[in-house]
Amino acid sequence: MAPKKVYSVCGMCTVRCLIQADVENDECLFLQGNPKNLKGALCARGGAGYALSQDTERPQYPLIREGERGEGKWRRVSWDEALDYVADKLKALKAEHGPETLLWSDRGGPFPDLHQAFVKGFGSPNYCNHDVSCARNVQHAAKSVTGMGRKEFSYDLKNAKHIVLQTRNIFEAINVSEVNNTLDALESGCKLTVIDVRGTITASKADNFFMIRPGADYAFNLAVINVLLERGLYDKEFAATQINGLDQLKAFVRPYTPEWAEAETGIPASRIVHFVKELAEAAPSVIWHPGWMAARYKDSFWVCRTAYIINALLGSIGSKGGLPLTMKAADAGRKGLKSLAGQFEKPAAKRADGAGWKYKHIDPGPGMIDKAYNAIESSDPYPVRAYLCFRHDPLMALPDPEAIKKKWEKLDLLVSVTFSWSETAWHSDVVLPLSPYLERESIIAHKGGLKPMFFVRKRAISPRYETKAEWEILCGLAKRLGIDKLAFDSIEDIWNYQLQDTGVKIEDFDECGFVELSAKPIYKPRSEIKFKTPSGKIEIINPVWEEMGFSSLKPYESPERPPEGRFRIVFARVGVHTQGHTVNNPLLNEQMPENTVWLNTKVAKTLGIADGDLVEVSNNGYSAKIKATVTDLIHPEAAFMVHGFGHKLRPESRAGERGAADQRLMPGGLDKDCLAGGSLALQEHFISVKKA
C-alpha cells in the first residue's frame, strides 16, 4: 500500500509553511513542501521535523516544580493533575486580584485566535506576543505612514523588477515561498540590492551590495529620499493624489545629501545616486523591504518608516511587483472564519503594559511584553501574578535573562507550554509538554495575500509521549475554569465552529490541505486605495506620534562608534536553525553545533586573533568562549554572532554549552528601546573581544 499523504503545516519556525507528510505505520517517511503551494520545497529545518518527534531529549510528560525556580527538581504528574493544578492556582489568583492578574505571551503566527479567546474568556486584557524583540518597529512604521499594519501589505516578490533588502536576509532568514518567489524574480531579470553590515548568502546573489556601518541605515535612507525628491525621480502622480506632507519631507531631507551620507554610512555618494536612478527606472515594481527583525536600534522605527516612505515615493505601495494590498476573505467576496475570541466581551481592565492608553501609539493587540514585566515588579497598574508562556522563550528571546528572572520573582504562577526544553521552561513552575507539530492538529487559519486562503494542520502521526495538542490543553483548562464557550471536546467541533459561515467544509481540505478563496490573484487598483489615516492618504506627519513626543521627521543622530577594543554586537538568523529552539535537534545540530563570532580581518589582526582562534566575548560581567571567524565580509565596527546558542540546559546533551548566547551580552537591555516603534533596541550594546 502506498504511504498515506497527510497535508499539514510545518512547525519548525513561525512561517508555518504548508507541507505534505508521507506516513506509513504511524511513521513519517518523507516530508516535503506542499506540492500545490510550495513546489515541494522545504528548508533544512522543515526537513528535520521528524527528528524533533523522535527526540527523547524533550519534555515528555507534565512536570510540576519541586525545588526553587530553575533548580531542575521536578515531579512527574498526570495531565489531570497538571491541569487541575494550573486551573486551581488561576482561580485563586483571579479571586484575589481580578482576572487581569493573568499575563499571556506567545509567538504570534497564524493560530493566535484560540490563545486570544482563552485570555479574553478568562477576563484578562493581557494578551502579548514576542514582537517587542522582532517586528514591532515595522508594524508601527507601517501604521504611522499608512494607518495600516505591516501585514496589510504583501510583498509581490515574483513580479518585482528591483528588490531591496535592508536588514533582511531572505535566503538565510527563510520563508520558503518568499525564497521561491525571489528566485523566480531573479531568473526573470529582477535586480537585487542588499544593504547589510556583512556579506550574507543573499548578498552573494546581489547586483548591488552595500556594506553599511552598523546603525547608519537611517542616514542611507534619508539620502535616498533626498535624491528621489531633489532630482524629481519620484512618482509625481501618486504623490500628488495619495501623499500628504511632501513639502515638509522635501525641506527636511534637503541637508541629507548623498555626500553627507557617505561619511556616515561608508557608502560612496556616487553609488547611492546610481542606485536611486535604478530604482526609479524599475518603479513602481520595486520592493524596498521594510525589514522583519527590526528590534535593533534606538532609531529603527524611523529606518522602517523611511522604507515605507521610499516605497510610497516610488509608487510601489499598492502596485503589482511592489507592495500591493493584502486581500482577505471579504475582498474575495467570501465570509471569514468565525472568531473564537469574538465570543467574549472586551475585558474591563486596562492593559498592564500601557499599550493603547499610556502609550497611545502602540497597538494594543500584542502589546509590549517587556513593559508587562515592569507591571509584575511594580504592581502598577495592578498586581500581575500569573504568567502563561505559550511557545515563547523570553529568557532566550529578550535581553538580560537574569534581570528578567528578577522581574518575575513576584509571580505566583509561571507556566510554560512547549515542545522542547527552553531556558524559560526550565525556570517555570509547571511545564505542559506540547506535541510537536507532526503529532498534533491546530485550529484552521486564514492567510491573507493576493489569493487569500484557509489552511489546516492535521495530525500526521500519533503523539510519541504524554504530550498534547494546544487545543486539548487550552480546552482542558477552559473546562476547569468555567469558560464554557471554549470547552470543546474535539478538534472537529472547533473546525466546524470556525467554518460555520464560510461555505467551506472540513472535507474541502482533504484534496491539498488548503482552500483558496479566490481563483486568481486580486490586485486592488492603486487609485482605489483608501489608506486608514484620517485623510485617507499616506501621511508623512503622523499626529498620534507627534502628540506622544515622537517627531515624524526625526533629525538623524549618528550612532556611537565603539570604544577602542570593543565592537557593536550584531546578530541574525542562519539557514539551518530556528531561534534558540533547534540547536539540540539531532539533524540540525549536526549541521551547525555552535556559533562563532565574526570579526573583520584588519581589526582581528590588531587584536592578534586569527580565524578559528578561541576568543572570550564579554560585556559587564557576562563572558563566554567562542571561536572566531575572521573575514573581510563584515564591517570593522561589528562583532556578529548567530542568535540561539550557548544553552545551559541539563536535558540537552547535544546543545551543551556550545557557543555564546548573544542575549546575555546585553545587560540592562530591557531599558534600551525604541519606544516610538514599541521595540527593544538589541544592538545598542558594545562587547569586548579578546583572545582566550
CA separation for the pair 185, 179 (Å, rounded): 10
In three-state secondary structure terms, 617 is: strand
Which of Mo ion, ligand MGD, ligand SF4, none has residue 16 at its interface (CB below 5 to 8 Å by kind)? Answer: ligand SF4
What sign results for the dihedral spanned by CA atoms 398, 402, 407, 411? positive
Q: Is 475 in the site for ligand MGD (CB under 6 A)?
A: no
CA separation for the pair 354, 340 (Å, rounded): 25
Cell 575572521, located at residue: 630
CA separation for the pair 107, 109 (Å, rounded): 6
Task: Tell me which residue has its CB nearest to ligand SF4.
Answer: 46
CA separation for the pair 680, 296 (Å, rounded): 7
Site residues (CB under 6 A) for ligand MGD, limited to 139-168: 166-168
Residue 240 contacts by C-beta under 8 Å, 6 or more apart in sequence? none
Q: Is 583 in the site for ligand SF4 (CB under 6 A)?
A: no
Provide the strand spans (E) within 181-318: 191-196, 208-211, 243-244, 286-289
Q: Is 293 in the site for ligand MGD (CB under 6 A)?
A: yes
Q: How far is the CB of 445 from Mo ion (least distance, A)?
A: 18
CA separation for the pair 459, 53 (Å, rounded): 12
CA separation for the pair 108, 115 (Å, rounded): 10
CA separation for the pair 197, 205 (Å, rounded): 16
Contact 271, 279 (CB under 8 A): no
Which of Mo ion, ligand SF4, ligand MGD, none has residue 10 at its interface (CB below 5 to 8 Å by kind)? Answer: ligand SF4
Q: Is 6 in the site for ligand SF4 (CB under 6 A)?
A: no
Q: Is 583 in the site for ligand MGD (CB under 6 A)?
A: no
Q: Judged by CB under 6 A, which of 6, 21, 23, 43 binds ligand SF4?
A: 43
Q: Judging by DSSP bridges, how do beta strands 430-433 and 413-418 pair with one another?
A: parallel
Backbone angles phi, psi at 586, to 5 degrees: -55, -45
How far does Cα 401 stand from its chain's mean position? 19
Secondary structure in 3-state letters for 202-216: HHHCCCEEEECCCCC
Nearest to ligand MGD of 138, 504 (CB atom)? 138
Q: How far is the CB of 306 from ligand SF4 (least distance, A)?
A: 28
Q: What is the DSSP string of 510-549?
A: TTTSEEES-SS-----GGG---SSTTSSEESS-HHHHHTT
CB atoms < 10 A from the CB of 374, how many? Answer: 16
Q: Judged by CB under 6 A, which of 6, 15, 414, 592 binds ligand SF4?
A: 15
Nearest to Mo ion of 134, 486 (CB atom)? 134
Q: Judged by CB under 5 A, which of 28, 52, 134, 460 binds Mo ion?
A: 134
Nearest to ligand MGD of 114, 375 (CB atom)? 114
CA separation for the pair 427, 362 (Å, rounded): 30
Q: Judged by CB under 6 A, which of 50, 234, 390, 556 binds ligand MGD?
A: 390
Which ranges constitute the DSSP H helices of 335-400?
369-378, 394-397
**How large is the angle between the packed helices 269-282 and 217-230, nearest 10 degrees?**
60
**Which residues partner with 115 through β-bridges?**
none
Q: Is 178 in the site for ligand MGD (CB under 6 A)?
A: no
Which of Mo ion, ligand MGD, ligand SF4, none has residue 316 at its interface (CB below 5 to 8 Å by kind)? Answer: none
Which of ligand MGD, ligand SF4, Mo ion, none has residue 166 at its interface (CB below 5 to 8 Å by kind)? Answer: ligand MGD
* Segment contacting ligand SF4 by CB under 6 A, of 13-21, 210-218, 625-633, 654-662: 13-21
**For residue 117, which amino acid is it?**
A
Mask: binding to ligand MGD, 618-657, rule CB under 6 A, as x and -? -------------------------x--------------
Q: How far is the CB of 396 from ligand MGD (least distance, A)?
A: 6
Nearest to ligand SF4 of 17, 23 (CB atom)? 17
Which of Mo ion, ligand MGD, ligand SF4, none has residue 17 at its interface (CB below 5 to 8 Å by kind)? Answer: ligand SF4
* Segment contacting ligand SF4 by CB under 6 A, of 6-14, 221-229, 249-257, 628-636: 6-14
Q: Is 588 in the site for ligand SF4 (CB under 6 A)?
A: no
Nearest to ligand MGD of 246, 576 (CB atom)? 576
CA separation for the pair 465, 160 (Å, rounded): 47
Mask: binding to ligand SF4, 310-349, rule CB under 6 A, as x and -? ----------------------------------------
Cell 518568499, located at residue: 178
Q: Is 663 in the site for ligand MGD (CB under 6 A)?
A: yes
- 3-state SS of the chain: helix, strand, coil percent to 5? 35, 20, 45
Nearest to Mo ion of 475, 670 (CB atom)? 670
Cell 556611537, located at residue: 560
CA separation for the pair 429, 64 (Å, rounded): 6
**Exposed e or buried b per residue across 390-408, where buried means at least 16 C-beta atoms within 10 angstroms of its C-beta:** bbbbbbbbbbbbebbbebb
Secondary structure in 3-state letters for 77-111: CCHHHHHHHHHHHHHHHHHHHCHHHEEEEECCCCC
Nearest to ligand SF4 of 14, 620 (CB atom)? 14
Which of Mo ion, ligand MGD, ligand SF4, none has residue 176 at its interface (CB below 5 to 8 Å by kind)? Answer: ligand SF4
Query: Before 381, cis peptide (omega within 30)?
Result: yes
Q: Judging by DSSP bridges, how do beta strands 386-390 and 102-106 pair with one another?
A: parallel
Q: Is 134 in the site for ligand MGD (CB under 6 A)?
A: yes
Q: Judged by CB under 6 A, which of 6, 7, 12, 362 binds ligand SF4?
A: 12
Q: Is 46 in the site for ligand SF4 (CB under 6 A)?
A: yes
Site residues (CB under 6 A) for ligand SF4, limited to 164-183: 174-176
Which of ligand SF4, Mo ion, ligand MGD, none has residue 42 at its interface (CB below 5 to 8 Å by kind)? Answer: ligand SF4
Which of Mo ion, ligand MGD, ligand SF4, none has residue 679 at its interface (CB below 5 to 8 Å by kind)? Answer: none
Residues interacting with ligand SF4, by CB under 6 A? 10, 12-13, 15-17, 42-43, 45-46, 174-176
Residues that bind Mo ion (CB under 5 A): 134
Binding site for ligand MGD (CB under 6 A): 11, 13-14, 107, 130, 133-134, 166-169, 172-175, 195-198, 200, 212, 214-215, 217, 291-293, 296, 390-393, 396-397, 399, 417-420, 422, 434, 570-573, 575, 577-581, 643, 662-663, 682
